[in-house]
């Protein structure tokens, strides 16, 4: 079989399989549109809270108005007791509560520090952090006003008091996530995982479908070509298919969602090639190991969540168990996510991510050799089965 015939046969095997078309093209397109939608507003806003005002003074009411004016929270309920506010949180009617203690105004006048309490539902960490941020901002502003007023009473100049009421000022500047939003934080890494998983399923489906056809006694072109030529052609085919899909994710999708891009096109291409080759080779390995094509989707989808948490961008690497970290190094998505995030989102040079680049090439060579060995083994085993059936 010539190279041209082999390439056309592989192309037909891919584009005549509805499961591969739906997974590769439909999956990549639908995930790019659907996954970021819940986070399109970047951060949660106007989270509903309850207030327990045990002081009921003019200053405590001013604090409530300041809290309600913050963009993070909205005061929707006023409770007579802490227990009542807790019951609202447990019933999911509000996301948090602010407790203003008794003698709040008196303690401010005496110069002591009254304690204002926050509470919230921490089941959703992003929502909880937003509630606490809004409450802390409002109470911090009121505290600053009280300190400035006290300094003026002690004879300080107004302009000087407004600048020196605190011993230090915190000026936070986000470096790699300018908007401090969820899209810039998680979508770039998850897009890499989507490319990894869909490509893995697509490459595995080709081999698994051929296994099913062999078990049914249907001859195929894979019997008439050498294994290394078939593997090489399949890797090239899927790489060519996924290069524009990767460009769509890192180009048009990033532009549409306002995700920062700092890497040069050449650097991105250099990192993309070993990533696609290693994933395709791993998909061929999976396809040679499973007897039915539906198992490919099940195996890959079940691995998605563990891969997300072991990649190092959601859960810190230092907190991962050593066996989990070791296993994650054998999956191309781990190196690709770390490399792409540092290269494209953090502005790292290519030399700074070269370790992950070499790892991807190592995995590409390793899984290609494993795939070659499995194809040779399966072909010899099938040959013996055919000889045994012919003898019988």
DSSP secondary structure string for all residues of 41-102 = TSS---EEEEEEESS--HHHHHHHHHHHHSSSEEEEEEESSHHHHHHHHHTTS-SEEEEEPT
The rounded distance, in Å, linking the Cα atoms of 66 and 59 is: 10
Model confidence pLDDT, tens digit, residues 188-245 = 888 999 999 999 999 999 888 887 777 666 667 767 788 888 899 999 999 999 999 9
The rounded distance, in Å, linking the Cα atoms of 197 and 195 is: 6
Q: Contact 57/108 with Cβ under 8 angstroms?
A: no
Look at residue 386 in the predicted model and tell me its pLDDT: 43
Model confidence pLDDT, tens digit, residues 88-131 = 888 888 888 888 888 888 877 776 777 788 887 777 666 777 77
Give 50's strand partners.
77, 97
Q: Contact 342/335 with Cβ under 8 angstroms?
A: no
Q: Contact 138/59 with Cβ under 8 angstroms?
A: no
Query: Any idea of the CA torsion for 138, 175, 328, 354, to the nearest 10 degrees?
Result: -170
Please report, for residues 159, 201, 333, the alpha-carbon distance to residue 23 in angstroms, rounded to integers and kept in the order given. 64, 7, 18
Model confidence pLDDT, tens digit, residues 145-176 = 666 666 666 666 555 555 554 444 555 566 67
106-110, 206-210, 320-324, 351-355, range with greatest mean pLDDT: 351-355
Residues whose CB is less than 8 angstroms from the CB of residue 49 and which lie 6 or more positions away in sequence, other chains included: 67, 73, 74, 75, 76, 77, 94, 95, 96, 97, 98, 120, 131, 135
Reduced to 3 states, what is the DSSP secondary structure of residue 26?
A: helix
Assess whether pLDDT exceeds 50 at residue 390: no
Q: What percent of the chain has pLDDT over 70?
A: 82
The rounded distance, in Å, linking the Cα atoms of 175 and 309 is: 23
Q: What is the pTM of this model?
A: 0.73
The rounded distance, in Å, linking the Cα atoms of 207 and 213 is: 10
Q: At what angle do helices 182-215 and 3-15 cross, to 10 degrees?
A: 110
Q: What are the strands of the beta sheet with 96-100, ordered from one edge?
A: 73-79, 47-53, 96-100, 117-120
């Amino acid at each position: 079989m010539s190279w041209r015939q082999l390439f056309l046969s592989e192309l037909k095997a891919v584009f005549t399989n509805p499961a591969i078309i739906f997974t590769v093209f439909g999956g990549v397109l639908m995930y790019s549109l659907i996954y970021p939608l819940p986070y399109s507003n970047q951060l949660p806003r106007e989270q509903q809270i309850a207030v327990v005002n045990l002081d009921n003074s003019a200053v405590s009411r001013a604090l409530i108005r300041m809290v309600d004016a913050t963009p993070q929270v909205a005061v929707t309920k006023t409770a007579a007791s802490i227990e009542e506010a807790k019951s609202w949180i447990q019933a999911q009617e509000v996301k948090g509560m602010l407790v203003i203690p008794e003698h709040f105004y008196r303690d401010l006048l005496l110069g002591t520090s009254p304690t204002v309490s926050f509470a919230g539902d921490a089941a959703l960490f992003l929502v909880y952090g937003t509630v606490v941020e809004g409450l802390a901002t409002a109470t911090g502003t009121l505290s600053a006003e009280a300190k400035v007023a006290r300094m003026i009473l002690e004879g300080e100049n107004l302009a000087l008091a407004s600048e020196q009421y605190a011993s230090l000022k915190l000026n936070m500047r986000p470096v790699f996530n300018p908007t401090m939003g969820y899209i810039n934080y998680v979508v770039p890494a998850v897009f890499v995982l989507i490319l990894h998983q869909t490509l893995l399923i697509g490459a595995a489906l080709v081999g698994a479908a051929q296994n099913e056809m062999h078990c049914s006694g249907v001859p195929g072109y894979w019997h008439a070509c050498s294994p290394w030529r078939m593997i090489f052609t399949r890797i090239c085919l899927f790489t060519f298919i996924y290069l524009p899909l990767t460009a769509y994710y890192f180009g048009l999708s990033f532009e549409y969602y306002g995700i920062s891009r700092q890497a040069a096109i050449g650097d991105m291409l250099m990192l993309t090639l070993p990533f696609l080759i290693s994933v395709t080779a791993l998909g061929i390995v999976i396809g040679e190991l499973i007897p039915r094509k539906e198992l490919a989707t099940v195996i890959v989808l079940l691995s998605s969540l563990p891969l997300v948490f072991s990649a190092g961008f959601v859960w810190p690497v230092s907190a991962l168990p050593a066996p989990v970290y070791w296993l994650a190094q054998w999956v191309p998505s781990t190196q690709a996510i770390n490399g792409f995030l540092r290269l494209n989102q953090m502005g790292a040079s290519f030399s700074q991510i070269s370790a992950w680049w070499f790892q991807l090439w190592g995995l590409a060579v390793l899984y290609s050799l494993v795939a070659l060995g499995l194809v040779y083994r399966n072909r010899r085993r099938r040959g013996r089965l055919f000889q045994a059936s012919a003898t019988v």
